[in-house]
Amino acid sequence: MSDRTERAELTVMVMVNKKGTDLVAVQERRKGSWDGLIFPGGHLERGESFACAAVREVKEETGLDVSRLCCCGVVHWSHRTRAERYLAVLYRAEAEGELLPATEEGRNFWMPIAEFRAAEGKSPAMDEYLTCFLGEAGELFAEYDEDGTDPLVRQKERER
């Protein structure tokens, strides 16, 4: 691997609005480091685009077919000493139809976006992710190692 090459874990997350409302599809996960209230998402499969992964993950985790898929940001976490990075491309979308009440990811339900913003028990860093989903930031970045993680920083603020 060259000095410019990093191993990357590629993921997506999607804020799905119920068409014509202020409701968003929320998952309540209880399966590991991303426990809490979160939007649907997951890992890319080999050879899959970010957009196709977003559509697939929403369908698998909620049963919803999305439309008006729009990329709204990127979050990346870089290891301080190893050439490793975790990258999440964030999308907004609309959906109609029946939301599955639960999947192996956790319980699903619709929630007004204002209530989600104010909710306790969100998954780690969801408040920061919301800045991208809601158009307040386009990129978030943090470094991590075995001792912990720096706070996510909006890229615009880092450049000042």
Cα torsion 65, 70, 72, 76: sign: positive
pTM greater than 0.85: yes
Residues 24 and 69: beta-carbon distance below 8 Å: no
**pLDDT per residue as tens digits for the range 66-91:** 999 999 999 999 999 999 999 999 99
Rounded to a whole number of angstroms, the CA Rg of the chain reads 16
Listed residue (77, 53, 60, 71) closest to 25, CA to CA: 60
Residue 120 has pLDDT above 70, yes or no: yes
Query: Using CA atoms, how far apart are residues 59 and 79, in angstroms rounded to an integer?
Result: 31
- The pLDDT, as a whole number, for residue 37 is 97
Residue 160 has pLDDT above 50, yes or no: no
